[in-house]
């Protein structure tokens, strides 16, 4: 029973990371119908920015987090401007291939500059290193901070999407781009804003993962990126609460599978879930079935 509770705590921690990344996938897909393969590498860049801020400039967690989010959102906007916007009206497959290209470029470009070796985040000290024993469970301060920041960012995102003018524009563009344009919404800047928001969340996830797992490398984004995408599909791609639910679900499944003896098959189980969802209910948990029109 205690083991189960401990696994649930770990699952929530991992799920927070997946949920943060999945939000970026789902928002971008919702607005321009593109699987942004480069998203997982923005998360990696976020981890590296955080690493440099903390190691070389000796900044604390909050300033590093803000800098990483800022750099990542600029990068996201830049990628959209250079690589995706010229292809806005091209065939879907071309944009998807471009996204794979951008992803590889970020991975191997980073590898070229910082080398392929693993880097270690500075050791956490003081209040951050505390651990709490609740019964047999161990909850670390890092886990509490990680989950706390995630929930704060999600609440902020919900506020932006539901309550602000820009959020309203985002929802309008994702419903019908042409109609939104006719209503006087600047589609290009709305799409840029969506990329900025999603990338900032990915950057935050990157620095939190760096703090939690301590090691980062240029290819660290590939596997979590795929899993976060699966989380987004699970919840219903394009739906923001769906990405949160999916993230926590995938995190819990992964922790449970590896906690109960199947750690070698952990990734296979997650991909299996993906294929099952795609076959049974491609629109995801919260998605509505849409009929295709000729």
* Complex with another protein: residue 122 or 262, whichever CB lies closer: 262
Evaluate whether 226 touches 167 at the Cβ level (below 8 Å): no
* Dihedral sign from CA coordinates of 226, 227, 231, 234: positive
* Complex with another protein: residue 204 or 230, whichever CB lies closer: 230
Minimum distance of another protein from residue 35's CB (angstroms): 5
Minimum distance of another protein from residue 211's CB (angstroms): 27
Residues with Cβ within 8 Å of 40's Cβ and at least 6 positions away in sequence, in order, are: 21, 103, 202, 221, 222, 224, 225, 226, 228, 229
Spell 80-110 as b/e; 16+ CB within 10 A means b: beebbeebeeeeeeebeebbeebbeebbeeb
Distance CA 84, CA 41 (A): 16
Distance CA 249, CA 19 (A): 9
Distance CA 177, CA 40 (A): 26
- Residues of this chain that interact with another protein (CB under 8 A) are 34-35, 83, 86-87, 90-98, 100-105, 107-109, 111-112, 116, 222, 226, 229-230, 233, 264-265, 267-268, 271-272, 274-275, 278-279, 282, 294
Minimum distance of another protein from residue 129's CB (angstroms): 34
* Complex with another protein: residue 127 or 264, whichever CB lies closer: 264
* Complex with another protein: residue 167 or 198, whichever CB lies closer: 198
* Complex with another protein: residue 94 or 130, whichever CB lies closer: 94
Distance CA 29, CA 33 (A): 4
Assigned token pair, 205? 């996830």
Minimum distance of another protein from residue 90's CB (angstroms): 6
Minimum distance of another protein from residue 284's CB (angstroms): 11
* Complex with another protein: residue 179 or 268, whichever CB lies closer: 268
* Complex with another protein: residue 41 or 149, whichever CB lies closer: 41
Give me the residues paired with residue 120 across strands: 215
Residue at token pair 């291939």:
97
Minimum distance of another protein from residue 75's CB (angstroms): 15
Minimum distance of another protein from residue 250's CB (angstroms): 13
């Amino acid at each position: 029973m205690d083991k189960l509770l401990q696994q649930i705590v770990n699952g929530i921690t991992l799920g927070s990371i997946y949920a943060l990344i999945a939000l970026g996938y789902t928002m971008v897909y919702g607005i321009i119908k593109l699987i942004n393969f480069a998203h997982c590498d923005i998360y990696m860049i976020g981890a590296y920015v955080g690493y440099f801020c903390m190691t070389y400039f000796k900044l604390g967690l909050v300033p590093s987090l803000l800098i990483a989010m800022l750099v990542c959102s600029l990068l996201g906007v830049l990628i959209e401007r250079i690589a995706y916007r010229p292809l806005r009206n091209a065939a879907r497959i071309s944009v998807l291939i471009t996204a794979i290209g951008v992803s590889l470029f970020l991975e191997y470009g980073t590898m070229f500059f910082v080398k392929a070796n693993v880097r270690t985040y500075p050791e956490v000290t003081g209040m951050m290193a505390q651990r709490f024993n609740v019964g047999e469970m161990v909850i670390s301060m890092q886990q509490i901070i990680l989950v706390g920041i995630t929930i704060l960012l999600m609440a902020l995102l919900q506020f932006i999407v539901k309550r602000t003018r820009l959020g309203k524009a985002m929802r309008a563009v994702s419903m019908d781009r042409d109609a939104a344009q006719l209503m006087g919404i600047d589609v290009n800047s709305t799409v840029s804003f969506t990329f900025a928001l999603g990338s900032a969340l990915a950057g935050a996830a990157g620095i939190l993962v760096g703090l939690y797992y301590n090691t980062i490398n240029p290819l660290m984004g590939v596997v979590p990126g795929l899993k976060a995408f699966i989380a987004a599909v699970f919840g219903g791609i394009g739906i923001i609460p769906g990405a949160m639910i999916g993230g926590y679900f995938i995190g819990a499944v992964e922790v449970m599978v590896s906690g109960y003896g199947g750690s070698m098959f952990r990734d296979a189980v997650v991909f299996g879930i993906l294929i099952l969802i795609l076959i049974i209910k491609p629109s995801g948990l919260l998605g509505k079935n849409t009929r295709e029109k000729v």
